[in-house]
Chain A
Amino acid sequence: MKKLTLAALVGLGLMSGSALAASAWTGGDDQPTNPLSCDATPAAATAKPYDGGVPTNPPDRKGKEITVVDVPKLIGIGYFNATSKGIADAAAELGNVKAKTDGPTKANIDEQITFIDNYITSGVDGILFAANDPVAIAPVLKKALEKGINVVGYDANSTPDARQWFVNQAEFNGIAKALVDSMAAEVGGEGGVAIVTSTFTTPNQARWIAEMAAYAEKCHPKLKWLETVEAQEDNNLSFNQATTLINKHGDELKGIFGMTSVATPASAEAVTQANKCGSVAVVGLATPNAMKPYVEKGCVKSVVLWNPVDLGYAAMQVLRAVADGSLQPGATSVKAGKLGDLQVINGSEILLGAPYVFNKDNIGQFDF
């Protein structure tokens, strides 16, 4: 019996030891990166053929009222409340859309799939989504396309053939550049940095981290990556993880990247409570409202985001255009209501614009 116990323990130890070392920054995906230039030169636009999915025999929805459901990663956080507001604003402006936001209360892909599945059965005309996992969500979205439902994604993409269009808030390498440049400016170009992300497989976070690693290697090689931790868009967990980072790395930690709108304020709070304001920089993606107290105190210098209300608004406008048939594969731009013309990039992605940096001077002007 003792030998069996020993064997079992050794087996378990071996299993856990097979975790191999990762290259570059943990939390990035393994797709090719395209870092921007270190100065302000804009990137060259790449033209790609349309690679989105196509619905099977969609009914003619031109001009008619459509029901649309928006299934974000999770409901109940400020960021998706803002996108939901944008969607509702667009629906009200268009006048012939009934839009509803519904989703899981945790950023869980299994539950998100079930939500979408139920709405497919209940016969909606359009689905807007922000995916918790790009591959896992693909089968249920393809099922929607097969039923003739229009599918448009925003914020977090699925595999291209599972949706018709994806509204990208900003180019992944643009966000990476804005984040890394802000961090480098605050820590003086060198030092240890750690990352608090949602999960290692969330599509947008993984893409950003991969691009950040490539950009930092190219333009700020003295920044030393220490660790990436997962905090699943949960406030408490983000705070605990950030505190652990501060305690674990001590003086070696010069900056924390917050990759979700929940992680950044939680990290700022952790830094404030550890009395490390000024010695540990916090740079990340967050809504202005969540960061106002820290920016006003001077604990956080800059916050990178885009306007999520505009993101939701654009997604709804794109869905209406797709349902009406005025946005076809191969288009190079789309008219999105009050946002004007939005550019089509990467085949089937629609770019919202450049990332926006909020700081002490301008954060007071925003309320979301």
Chain B
Amino acid sequence: MTASKLLRHETILAVLTVIALAVLASLSDKFFTPENLLNQGRLMAEVGLVALAMTFVIVTGGIDLSVGSILGLTAILLGVFWKNLGLPLPAAIVLALACGTFAGWINGFIITRFGVPPLIATLATLALYRGLAEGISEARSVRGYPEWFFFFGQGEVLGVPFQLWLLGLATVIAAVILGLTPFGRATYAIGANETAARFSGIRVDATKLWIYTAAGFCSALAAVIFVSRVTTTRSDMGTGLELDVITGVVLGGTSIFGGRGTIIGTVLGLILIQALKNGLALSGVKGDGTIVVIGLVLIGAILAGALFDKNRGG
């Protein structure tokens, strides 16, 4: 994969994003203010964190539909550990993160050990984890967290929302791992041709296990931030998150067949979607109209990418 081919979709996407930002800024003078932009950054942090891990997952040719349910389960477990079991909140947070990561590990385990296609396996765990969340919580929400906990979701460091710093750090780490390490190379190899990767000595199962575990961890982290932002836990949190995440990742140029994708593309995809959702709402377009536009943009971006990638052999 040469640099020019790699950048093709991402360049189009970058241009599209800039155009979209310019158009939206002209439609509403409240859109391009630092306050609004930082606020949107805050709102997209949860989807962003999960999308970083999902990029790895989709690059290997797999998919993880259970991320929303893992988010809901972690959120509920956080409440249960803190309120019902009486653990101190930091311990509850760590334990909830561990459980979410474990849930991701189980996904990876089912996929690698039993050879179940990722779509089926994560579809099953989507239902399993959501059911666990509802059963454990009995759909009672947990409230009354201490003030310091709200810093993660609502606080700021140097004027920038905390979760945006977290997202930035995670983006850098993810980009370095995917682009510059052997682990990243192995990820691309698995997605391009899994059998060949296995025969060239790459530890395919271990890599996949790490990736799905990471997806679980990122969902759990997003859950902690989300609970901190809305100050309550509910068992239906994160419903539909997987669709937003996958849209962002695919828009960013990651091929659903695997073997192709970058972190920078995912980031651009997420920015474009968030900007559209926010900018259109600010310029008076109602909710349903925004969904239509995002659908059209997704189709347009994929088609544009496919058109310019004529040289690639599927």
Which residues does A use to contact B, with CB under 8 Å?
1, 8, 12, 15-16, 18-20, 22, 26-27, 30, 75, 102-106, 108-111, 113-115, 117-119, 121-123, 133, 135-136, 138-139, 199-201, 230
Known: A108-B236, A121-B278. 12 other contacts (CB 8 A): A16-B135, A20-B138, A102-B286, A105-B287, A105-B291, A110-B226, A118-B278, A122-B28, A135-B232, A199-B139, A200-B138, A201-B235
Q: Does B260 contact A (CB under 8 A)?
A: no
Q: Does B147 sit at the interface, judged by CB under 8 A?
A: no
Contact A18 B136 (CB under 8 A): yes
CA distance A199 to B72 in the complex (A): 15
- Establish whether residues A110 and B288, one from each chain, have CB atoms under 8 Å apart when the complex forms: no
Contact A102 B234 (CB under 8 A): no
How far does the alpha carbon of A123 sit from the alpha carbon of B234 in the complex, in Å? Answer: 30
Chain A residues with CB under 8 Å of B135's CB are 16, 19
Most B-side CB within 10 Å, residue of A12, A15, A110, A119: A110
Smallest CB gap from B229: residue in A? A139
Q: A16-B135, A102-B286, A103-B287 are in contact. Are A199 and B30 (CB under 8 A)?
A: no
Given A114-B43, A118-B282, are A105 and B138 neighbors across the interface (CB < 8 Å)? no
A/B interface sample: 30 pairs, CB < 8 A: A1-B113, A8-B106, A15-B136, A16-B135, A16-B136, A20-B138, A102-B287, A103-B287, A104-B287, A105-B291, A108-B236, A109-B236, A110-B226, A114-B277, A117-B39, A117-B43, A118-B281, A121-B30, A121-B278, A121-B282, A122-B30, A133-B234, A135-B141, A135-B143, A136-B230, A136-B234, A199-B236, A200-B139, A201-B139, A230-B139
A108 to B240, Cβ gap below 8 A?
yes
User: Which residues of A are found within 8 Å of B141, using beta-carbon distances?
Assistant: 133, 135-136, 201
Residues of B within 8 A of A199 (CB): 139, 234, 236
A192 to B56, CA, bound (A): 52
Are A123 and B138 within 8 A (Cβ)?
A: no
Q: For residue B80, which residues in chain A have a CB less than 8 angstroms away from its CB?
A: 18
**Which residues of B in the span 117-141 have a Cβ within 8 Å of any Cβ on A?**
131-132, 135-136, 138-141
Q: Which chain A residue has the least Cβ–Cβ distance from B227?
A: A136
Q: How far is the CB of B20 from chain A (nearest CB, A)?
A: 16
> A122 contacts B230, CB within 8 Å?
no
Residues A139 and B231 in contact in the complex (CB < 8 Å), given A102-B287, A122-B28, A123-B30? yes
Give residues of chain B (271-291) contacting chain A, Cβ–Cβ below 8 Å.
277-278, 281-282, 284, 286-288, 291
Given contacts A75-B287, A110-B237, A199-B236, contact A16 B39 (CB under 8 A): no
Instruction: List chain A residues, Cβ under 8 A from B287.
Output: 75, 102-105, 111, 115
Residues of A within 8 A of B286 (CB): 102
Bound CA span A230–B139, Å: 10
Q: Which bracket fits the contact residues of B? A: 35 or more
Q: Give the residue name and chain of the A residue nearest to B153 (CB).
A: A139
For A136, what are the chain B residues with a Cβ–Cβ distance below 8 Å? 141, 230-232, 234
Instruction: Write the residues of chain B forming the contact surface with A, with a CB cutoff of 8 angstroms.
Output: 28, 30, 35-36, 39, 43, 80, 106, 109, 113, 131-132, 135-136, 138-141, 143, 154, 226, 229-232, 234-237, 239-240, 277-278, 281-282, 284, 286-288, 291
Residues of B within 8 A of A111 (CB): 287
* Residue among A30, A106, A114, A123 with max Cβ neighbours from chain B (10 Å): A114
The listed residue (B229, B235, B239) touching A108 by CB distance below 8 A is: B239
Complex Cα gap A75–B286 (Å): 11
Q: Give chain B residues whose Cβ lies under 8 Å from the Cβ of A108.
A: 236, 239-240
- Residues of A within 8 Å of B288, CB to CB, are 105
Q: Which residues of chain B are near A20, meaning CB under 8 Å?
A: 138
Point out the residues of chain B lying under 8 angstroms from A121, CB to CB: 30, 35-36, 39, 278, 282
Q: Which of B36, B230, B281 contacts A113 (CB 8 A)?
A: B230
**Cβ 8 A contact of A19, one of B43, B138, B236:** B138
Measured between alpha carbons, how far is A109 from B141 in the docked complex, in Å? 13
- Min CB distance, B220 to chain A, in Å? 15
Which residue from chain A places its CB closest to the CB of B237 in the assembled complex?
A110
Residues of B within 8 A of A110 (CB): 226, 230, 237
Instruction: Enumerate chain A residues within 8 angstroms of B229, measured Cβ to Cβ.
Output: 139
Bound-state CA distance A103–B140 (Å) is 24
The docked-state distance in angstroms from the alpha carbon of A12 to that of B80 is 15
Given A104-B287, A115-B287, A122-B281, answer yes or no on A138-B136 (Cβ-Cβ < 8 Å): no
Docked CA distance A106–B30 (Å):
27
Q: How far is the CB of B78 from chain A (nearest CB, A)?
A: 14
Given contacts A108-B239, A117-B39, contact A19 B231 (CB under 8 A): no
The 6 closest A-B pairs by CB, nearest first: A200-B139, A118-B281, A136-B230, A135-B232, A19-B135, A201-B141
